[in-house]
Structure 1
């Protein structure tokens, strides 16, 4: 009888110990807010450059666009942190009651996490999108001076299109049109860069 009482107390203690995961949840959500603020400041600063400077220099335009894309990159990182925080909370602590009370339990979105696999899938999709945005930022100011540069640019665009296509394919069948658009975008970008 005493052994059963000790076992129950120990199991309750173990069950309550899951609440330690509130620390990464709160820090992820705060990090998400921080990334959104940094991204907003980045885009706002780029907007101020647009308002102040005349667009006579091509380098100013490319630099400003790269700064805006950098802001978008911070937004994507913020979304990844938000997904992680929501996912850990729903997997370890409890379901989000306000979402369930709103009758949105059937509505599946990127914040709906019902297994570790779905959390992993959602995070990997957002991370790949973040990498695509970061690579796009690098290609904005890329100068094509010779055939090797053009080949490097086309190769990077092809890899971006392939990763976008793989994301679309990971969501199942019926998205072949989006995959075709990704490949066409790759082809047209390579052809357009030859005209520079």
Structure 2
């Protein structure tokens, strides 16, 4: 008994000759339905490209505004807000790329061209939906942190209680990021 036969027997896999027409046709259609995720891959990648272009436009707009009015007193804050906004868009674009790569590799095929030199990029080391979800969640947390600090820069504190809330928020985010990185080690 060959290796393939042992595998088939162990997992109860039938030969095509042992299946009825309907069973074979249905399983074939069901298995090939996985290709619907190609739509998510294509549009996720296109969305990522759009976000990278929007982030680049945000930085370009910030540069233009910096050089068009160099004496503006609020300019440093506006530069930070523009750059942080662009980083936010880039990070969301990265989320979409990780999602696109991950579901392609999980449902369709490994990306052979990325493995051609024998080394595999960390972003392509996704073997389960949980691993994909974990990678996406980590980037989303970074997006939330960046968005939070972008809003902090545009906040105006009216009372000392506002500043205390801000300090508590920053501490909570720092603590969350610390535990997230500690879990990796």
Please report the TM-score for the alignment, with normalisation by the length of structure 2.
Answer: 0.84
Residue 3 of structure 1 and its aligned partner are, at CA, apart by 5.6
Residue in structure 2 matching 1:5, options 16, 21, 34: 21
CA contact (8 A) 1:55 1:61 kept: no
* Structure 2, unpaired ranges of 5+: 1-16
Residue 119 of structure 2 corresponds to residue 100 of structure 1: no
Q: Based on CA coordinates, which of the two structures has the bigger radius of gyration?
A: 2
Residue 34 of structure 1 and its aligned partner are, at CA, apart by 0.4
Q: Give, in whole Å, the separation in 1 of the partners of 2:137 and 2:83.
A: 23
Cα 1:116–1:3, aligned 2, differ >3 Å: closer, same or farther? closer
**CA offsets, 1:88-132, max 9 Å, x none?**
101111111112222113x5x134311111101100000000000
Q: Give, in whole Å, the separation in 2 of the partners of 1:159 and 1:134.
A: 15
Q: Give, in whole Å, the separation in 2 of the partners of 1:2 and 1:156.
A: 63
Relative CO higher for 1 or 2, CA cutoff 8 Å, sep ≥ 6? 2
Q: Give, in whole Å, the separation in 2 of the partners of 1:26 and 1:16.
A: 18
In the comparison of the two structures, how many residue pairs are matched?
A: 169
Show the counterpart of 1:44: 60
Q: Give, in whole Å, the separation in 2 of the partners of 1:25 and 1:52.
A: 40
Q: CA RMSD in A?
A: 1.8
* Structure 1, unpaired ranges of 5+: 173-196
CA contact (8 A) 1:46 1:65 kept: no
CA contact (8 A) 1:87 1:119 kept: yes
